[in-house]
């Protein structure tokens, strides 16, 4: 127990961190170009926020939340997603008074008690964006473009964009009845989950991965055919905006989000290399979310991208091979103790050079081997006699060339050599 992380959690080891930073840097850069500012939301919220803002009938809220009572008797929940928190922050800080739309992004861990599988963890990480305060279809197109632009900047191509409109509460409640009517005699053929969904949330039956459920719903009516005029026009305008940008997409009428605050545009982006569940980005409009958590009726749209899933897709595509940078300098000693060497190492660091040294009293030969293994280009040899003469020897590990350098001029000499290298 003590030497094993909890099920569904994962250490991100030093060798993996460059990939994560690569992801995060590209995300920041894409958001900067698109005008989305970073927001940092708390790791936990009042449970009530997720009950309302994610929805009690969702799997997330019904089965997967990490909920606990704190010492003050409050029910709190580790955030299972970011959108509800951002909507709460928008209201709490009266951002409706700022210039609209308010466009923000976040990255960080989320928590869901889910069955762990490839690329899916109980503590997982998301990068997401949200834009509040506009129903303009061009904003939907911008959000889709941001997701695509970002994923492409990582080196992922072969992306497939799936697009749908889930309508508004008005056209959807009409559609819900026609879907129930169409499935009425077939409820027993559905999987147990969908049996429950039939009453509570029948739209979700359409995106069930169970083959039997897919067969049962094959002939079912589609929401796309029953949109009200307002929703139909909005969807046409979103598609026209994407067409004008030359973006290819698949119209997927089975792409649904069952809750009433989700409205109009829904989209997913798929990447190869992840097996059957190949979605790496899900997004769409939620024009009634802010009202659902107690605010005025303010529209919003956003997406979330699972970082672990994207890193898997990148590995499958053989792309994004970021590596940790090696230190600049290794200070090797002969007849000089680590404590005596440390002040010289510190001088190098203060001059902006990443410097390493030996702490195990290795032989000089073993120290050179270590520097080589770490991929360090320059080794500074500090010997007893050299120190007395105020000198060190700098060895270029690539060419094998050695040069005597005065200790006073060491930092400037190495800085110059490293500058040439870059």
Q: Which residues of the chain form contacts with Zn ion (CB under 5 A)?
A: 167-168, 171, 191, 194, 208, 210, 213, 228, 231
CA-closest candidate to residue 127, choices 304, 376, 274, 312: 304
Q: Shortest distance, CB of residue 171 to Zn ion, whole angstroms?
A: 3
The residue (of 126 and 263) whose beta carbon lies closer to Zn ion is: 263
Q: By C-beta, is 135 or 210 nearer to Zn ion?
A: 210
Distance set, CA 384 to CA 40, 337, 390 (Å): 52, 10, 10
What gap in Å lies between CA 10 and CA 363, rounded to an integer? 37
Sign of CA dihedral 320, 243, 165, 179: negative
122: tokens are 């109980």
**Residue 360: count of CB within 10 angstroms of its CB:** 8
Which residue's CB is nearer to Zn ion, number 151 or number 231?
231
Closer to Zn ion at the Cβ: 100 or 210? 210
Instruction: Quote the least distance from Cβ 359 to Zn ion, whole Å.
Output: 59
User: Smallest distance from the beta carbon of 193 to Zn ion, in angstroms?
Assistant: 5
Nearest-approach distance from CB 215 to Zn ion, in angstroms: 10
- Distance of closest approach, residue 220 Cβ to Zn ion, in angstroms: 13
Task: Round to whole Å and give the CA distance between 300 and 51.
Answer: 19
- In the complex, the smallest distance separating the C-beta of residue 292 from Zn ion, rounded to whole angstroms, is 17
- Nearest approach in angstroms of CB 233 to Zn ion is 10
**Which residues have C-beta within 8 Å of that of residue 395, sequence separation ≥ 6?**
368, 378, 379, 380, 381, 401, 402
Q: Whose Cβ is closer to Zn ion: residue 210's or residue 278's?
A: 210
Strand ranges, E, within 145-196: 160-165
For residues 170 and 384, which CB has a smaller minimum distance to Zn ion in the complex? 170
Would you say 82 or 202 has its CB closer to Zn ion? 202
- Report helix angle 17-34 to 137-153, nearest 10: 150
CA distances from 225 to 165, 166, 214, 253, 309 (A): 10, 11, 19, 9, 33
């Amino acid at each position: 127990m003590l030497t094993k992380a909890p099920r569904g959690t994962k250490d991100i080891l030093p060798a993996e961190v460059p990939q994560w930073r690569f992801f995060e840097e590209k995300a920041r850069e894409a958001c900067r170009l698109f005008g989305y500012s970073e927001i940092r939301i708390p790791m936990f919220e009042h449970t009530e926020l997720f009950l309302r803002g994610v929805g009690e009938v969702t799997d997330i809220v019904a089965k997967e939340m990490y909920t606990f009572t704190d010492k003050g008797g409050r029910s709190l929940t580790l955030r299972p997603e970011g959108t509800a928190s951002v909507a709460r922050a928008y209201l709490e800080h009266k951002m409706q008074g700022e210039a609209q739309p308010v466009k923000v992004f976040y990255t960080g861990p989320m928590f869901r008690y889910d069955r762990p599988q490839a690329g899916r963890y109980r503590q997982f990480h998301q990068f997401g964006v949200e834009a509040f305060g506009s129903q303009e279809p061009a904003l939907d197109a911008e959000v889709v473009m941001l997701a695509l632009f970002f994923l492409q900047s990582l080196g992922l191509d072969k992306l497939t964009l799936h697009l749908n409109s889930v309508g508004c509460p008005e056209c959807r409640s009409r559609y819900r009845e026609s879907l129930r009517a169409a499935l009425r005699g077939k409820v027993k053929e559905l999987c147990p989950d969908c049996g429950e969904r039939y009453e509570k949330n029948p739209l979700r039956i359409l995106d069930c991965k169970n083959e039997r459920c897919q067969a049962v719903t094959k002939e079912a009516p589609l929401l796309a055919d029953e949109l009200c005029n307002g929703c139909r026009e909005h969807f046409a305008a979103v598609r026209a905006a994407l067409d004008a940008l030359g973006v290819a997409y698949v119209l997927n009428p089975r792409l649904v989000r069952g809750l009433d605050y989700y409205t109009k545009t829904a989209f997913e982006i798929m990447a190869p290399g992840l097996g059957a569940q190949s979605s790496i980005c899900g997004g769409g409009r939620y024009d009634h979310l802010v009202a659902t958590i107690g605010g005025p009726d303010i529209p919003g749209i956003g997406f979330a991208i699972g970082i672990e899933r994207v890193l898997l897709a990148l590995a499958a595509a053989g792309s994004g091979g970021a590596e940790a940078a090696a230190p600049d300098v290794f200070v090797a000693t002969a007849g000089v103790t680590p404590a005596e060497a440390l002040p010289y190492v510190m001088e190098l660091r203060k001059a902006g050079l990443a410097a390493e040294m030996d702490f195990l009293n290795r032989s000089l030969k073993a120290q050179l081997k270590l520097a080589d293994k770490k991929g360090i280009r320059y080794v500074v040899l500090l010997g007893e006699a050299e120190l007395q003469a105020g000198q060190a020897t700098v060895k270029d590990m690539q060419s094998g060339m050695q040069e005597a350098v005065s200790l006073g001029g060491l930092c400037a000499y190495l800085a110059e050599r490293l500058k040439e290298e870059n």
